[in-house]
Copies of this chain bind each other. A is one copy, B any other.
Amino acid sequence: MPDIIEPKTLRGFRDSLPQEELARQRIQERLSAVFRRFGFVPIDTPALEYAEILLGKGGGETDKQVYRFRDHGQRDVALRFDLTVPFARFMAGHAGELYLPFKRYHMAKVWRGENTQRGRYREFMQIDFDSVGTDSASADFEILEVMQASFLALGIERVRIHVSHRELFNRFLAARGLEAQYLPILRTIDKMRKLDRGELVEQLAGLCGKDRAEELLSFITPAPTDAETLAGMGKLLPPDCEPLQRLRALWACIEEGGLASFFRFDPSITRGLDYYTGVVFETFLLDLPDIGSVCSGGRYNDLASLYTREKLPGVGASIGLDRLLAALEELKALEAVSAAPAVLVLLLDEGLLPQYHRLAAELRRAGLSAEVYPEPRKLAVQLKYAERRGIPMAVFFGPEERASGRYTLKDLRSRKSYEGLTGQATAETARRLLQP
């Protein structure tokens, strides 16, 4: 007898069982519907690309997490590690076929050979949506609106999207001759949520002096209302400051749309160092603040400079589906999606197989999901299968029913039986019983 190979998956990779997969698909359908409603269209790109495309020319050592190898033709290839780089390559490669502004969404797996501690996975589903080809308050606002509408579509109203503008901070520092300290100051600010105010002032004071440190902290500390925060900023920045004008335009749209309670102007949001150049945002679930941002993004002034000389400004956001799924589960916001059919047609007499299948087909035509138990096993075994799967109803058609030509429908939850039903009446009764 040959040896058995242990049926294991790679560390950091997982199967998706039916219940989870249904939940995932449900989320993707909901979000697709939101994106479509805002005029975004779906695209897809290859999982595998030239390593040079994904990593840039100097990519040799830049990202050790990337799955990179030589293919059959000795080409240097890699699995995509995000959806942004492939999108940049896509925009550069299809410039002739596309119109601008181009608004796409992309839901797809990405791969990173990360440390699997702290519950990180090496394969995960990313959901990105971007609006490219325009630098405008309108496009910024639309992305923010899509974010809020996405969470609402998933049943989450208690969400807060923190918004800031990357340049705001630069302008503040520049006006004070602190450009040179930009990076260390930004890194310190990034730690803001982990440090208490005293520690923060101390670290900042080391970089720019105590007075500046206090001013800086008051600059990035939100006031009780967004209007006050914006007003406070206005006093610390030149009056023609574009970033501030952009934020004011956004807030006018947010307020006119009745969305003020979902947004928070938060100057402490910086979103890393290199990529973003305009508005930046992070999304927090008010009932699960500890899990951090579940949807982040911002504006960048040139998406695809590696692949084209055409300048493509854009704005977009990204949702990590696995983290979101875990959050929804914890919030019990995942509605129960049954993986089971509504009706099991019991196989009581193999000679009647064609009739069982004809009834199942009639139930399906009436909009119900139905299946025939596939073998003439003991009734107890068939009912145990229904119970194991959570099938709520079963149809009996045995010798007794055959004599009358009528079916018996049993509600397996209430154990109530409905006898003497025609096929149509079986379907109608089952539909009625399915209603909550």
Contact of A374 (CB < 8 Å), options: B24, B101, B388: B101
* Binary flags per residue of A80-123, CB closer than 8 Å to B gives 1, else 0: 00000000011011100101010110000101010000000011
- When chains A and B are docked, how far (Å) is the Cα of A53 from the Cα of B8? 8
- List 29 interface pairs A-B (beta carbons < 8 Å), by A numbering: A3-B57, A4-B307, A4-B308, A5-B57, A9-B46, A9-B89, A11-B73, A13-B46, A15-B44, A15-B46, A15-B93, A16-B45, A17-B94, A21-B44, A36-B369, A37-B341, A37-B364, A38-B370, A39-B341, A47-B79, A47-B109, A47-B123, A136-B374, A138-B347, A138-B356, A138-B374, A138-B375, A139-B374, A256-B357
Residues of the B chain whose Cβ atoms lie less than 8 Å from the Cβ of A56: 5
Residue of B nearest to A90 (CB): B15
Q: Check B353–A138 contact: CB distance below 8 A.
A: yes
Instruction: Answer whether A369 and B99 are a contact pair too, CB < 8 Å, given A15-B46, A45-B15, A48-B10.
Output: no
Check if A52 is an interface residue, CB within 8 A of chain B: yes
Instruction: Give the residues from 37 to 75 in chain A that come closer than 8 angstroms, CB to CB, to chain B.
Output: 37-39, 41-50, 52-53, 56-57, 64-65, 67, 69-73, 75
Contact of A370 (CB < 8 Å), options: B15, B21, B39: B39
Interface 9-mer from A198-206, A247-255, A294-302, A419-427:
A247-255
| A106 → B minimal CB distance (Å) | 9
Residues of the B chain whose Cβ atoms lie less than 8 Å from the Cβ of A304: 7
| A404 → B minimal CB distance (Å) | 19
Q: Interface on A for B, CB 8 Å cutoff?
A: 2-11, 13-18, 21-22, 24-25, 29, 32, 36-39, 41-50, 52-53, 56-57, 64-65, 67, 69-73, 75, 77, 79, 89-90, 92-94, 97, 99, 101, 103-104, 109, 111, 113, 122-123, 131, 134, 136-139, 141-142, 145, 149, 249, 252-253, 255-257, 304, 306-309, 339-341, 347, 353-358, 361, 364, 368-375, 385, 388-389
Residues of the B chain whose Cβ atoms lie less than 8 Å from the Cβ of A67: 48, 69, 71-72
| A256 → B minimal CB distance (Å) | 3
Residues of the B chain whose Cβ atoms lie less than 8 Å from the Cβ of A309: 4
Q: Check A8–B93 contact: CB distance below 8 A.
A: yes
- When chains A and B are docked, how far (Å) is the Cα of A56 from the Cα of B6? 11
Residues of the B chain whose Cβ atoms lie less than 8 Å from the Cβ of A104: 18
Q: Check B5–A53 contact: CB distance below 8 A.
A: yes
Residues of the B chain whose Cβ atoms lie less than 8 Å from the Cβ of A11: 73
Q: Check A257–B9 contact: CB distance below 8 A.
A: no
Residue of B nearest to A98 (CB): B17
- When chains A and B are docked, how far (Å) is the Cα of A70 from the Cα of B113? 12
